[in-house]
A and B are shown apart, each in its own frame.
Chain A
């Protein structure tokens, strides 16, 4: 049996003798007809993406400005040229993925898991190549401070990004939360790279990069909790 025959077979099998009842269609039409105000469609994806990117960049820069640009001043030109464009590309990809997750039927370049993996392993590769000082002074205490600082900047990024996307409709709330958390984590890492002058390899590899999975997991859990709430509905 070749594919053409199979197609034909399926078409014949698709004949549905018990079609949808006209009474049901009338009921649906009547229920929707009760409230039919005009709605403003969502703006183009690129408008939403730019909004989210600007929020992530602004929070990273504002955080570093408040705490001091010690990290970026200590980096050499080559290190800056590798780290910041990579972060910019990842933030762009994450913003694009987050917008796609909130508009049903959008084209997707990455699955949320793939985006998270690319973000973590991409940054690990860059940090691994650039930072070769394997000393570990105040590993835990300094690391926890950086992790906390990164997450402190991830939270407002996620909240403001959600405000931009609040009119969207996430068909998979957990995936949307995971992507939003990844983007927020990237903003947190960007802030740390601008601010933190501790270039010990293990500190950067573990504690700076950890902001991304922790933030992504937080986003996914929060979205899951919200989606289970019966009143969670997209506003018109």
Chain B
């Protein structure tokens, strides 16, 4: 078990924590302050805000579309829309639900457009299946977009906001225009599916050690 714990710590250091260190993480209060200054026309605040929250929003798009090319385009489009709608943020309100509500809107628009234009096409699957990743490198945890890919869109976005971004239930409910009960239900169902999937992939015995 000691080995397992060491191994887990190593992965944590090389993975999530390192990502956190490289990604500018800003507290909610800082974000609110930056947003208020952005509304006042402060270019430096706008720059800081872009660099603080873009990695999160980018990851949101990557998880939803499993495509980094799409995520690049959508992130640019999102900031244009945020810029146009920046007056609709009210100082003192949480920033993340406001941002994610607009990001969801971009995602839905994009989905509608792409389903109209590519409705009859059979795109090649560019994303490696979690099964392939697990078979090739049993010690490596698949990336989040691969791991969550089989979940329905609504469960994927709720799990991303709740478990990865650390938003509260109420913030997720605001961002997704739904009730707290509905968010809980989607998260629970998503987690159940994910649990089965991880167990099937044998990832419970991964670098974290034997999971109960």
Q: Secondary structure at chain B's binding surface: helix, strand, loop or mixed?
A: helix
Question: B85 and A234: CB pair below 8 A?
Answer: yes
Most buried by A among B22, B80, B177: B177
A residues 1-59 near B (Cβ < 8 Å) are 1-3, 5-21, 24-25, 27-29, 31-33, 36-42, 44
Among the 9-residue stretches A61-69, A70-78, A98-106, A154-162, the one with 4 or more Cβ atoms under 8 Å from chain B is A98-106
A12 to B42, CA, bound (A): 36
A108 is an interface residue with CB less than 8 A from chain B:
yes
Q: Which residues of A contact B12 (CB under 8 A)?
A: 8, 11-12
Q: Do A31 and B147 have beta carbons less than 8 Å apart?
A: no
> Contact between B46 and A233 (Cβ–Cβ < 8 Å)?
no
Residues 139-171 of B contacting A (Cβ, < 8 Å):
141-144, 147, 159, 163-164, 170
Which residues in A have their C-beta under 8 angstroms from that of B85? Answer: 104, 169, 234
CB distance from B138 to the nearest CB of A (A): 15
Contact A6 B191 (CB under 8 A): yes
Q: Which residues of B contact A36 (CB under 8 A)?
A: 41-43, 46
Q: A171 in the interface, Cβ–Cβ < 8 Å? A: yes
Decide if B65 is an interface residue (CB 8 Å cutoff). Answer: no
A42-B90 CB under 8 A given contacts A13-B147, A105-B175: yes
Interchain CB contact (< 8 A) of B19 among A14, A44, A168 = A14
The residue on B at minimum CB distance from A109 is: B179
**Of the residues B15, B80, B89, contact of A41 by C-beta under 8 Å:** B89
Determine if A236 is an interface residue (Cβ-Cβ < 8 Å).
yes
Which residues of chain A are within 8 angstroms of B71 by Cβ–Cβ distance?
A: 20
A111 → chain B, closest Cβ, in Å? 8
A interface residues, how many (CB within 8 angstroms): 53
A107 within 8 A of B: yes
**How far, in angstroms, from A102 to B208 measured CA to CA in the complex?**
45
Complex Cα gap A171–B177 (Å): 9
Q: Mark B48-76 against chain A: 1 for CB-CB distance below 8 A, else 0.
A: 00110011001100100000100110011
List A contacts of B42 (CB < 8 A). 36
Give the chain B neighbours of A94 by CB distance below 8 A. Answer: none
Say whether A171 contacts B102, CB under 8 Å. yes
Q: Are A1 and B143 in contact (CB under 8 A)?
A: no
Shortest beta-carbon distance from B94 to chain A in Å: 7
Q: For A136, list chain B residues within 8 Å (CB).
A: none
Are the C-beta atoms of B105 and A39 separated by less than 8 Å?
A: no
Chain B min CB distance to A143 (Å) = 36
Q: In whole Å, how far is A156's beta carbon from the nearest beta carbon of chain B?
A: 25
Assuming the contacts A7-B163, A32-B83, asked whether A16 and B88 have C-beta atoms less than 8 A apart, the reply is no
Identity of the chain B residue whose Cβ is nearest the Cβ of A38 in the assembled complex: B41
B107-125 interface with A by 8 A CB criterion:
108
Q: Does B11 contact A (CB under 8 A)?
A: yes
Write the residues of chain B forming the contact surface with A, with a CB cutoff of 8 angstroms: 8, 11-12, 15-16, 18-19, 22-23, 39-43, 46-47, 50-51, 54-55, 58-59, 62, 68, 71-72, 75-76, 79-80, 83-91, 93-94, 96-102, 104-105, 108, 141-144, 147, 159, 163-164, 170, 173-175, 177-179, 191, 194-195, 198-199, 203-204, 206-208, 211-212
3 nearest A-B pairs in the assembled complex, by CB-CB distance: A105-B97, A105-B98, A104-B101
- Name A's B-contacting residues (CB within 8 A): 1-3, 5-21, 24-25, 27-29, 31-33, 36-42, 44, 102-108, 111, 167-169, 171-172, 175, 233-234, 236
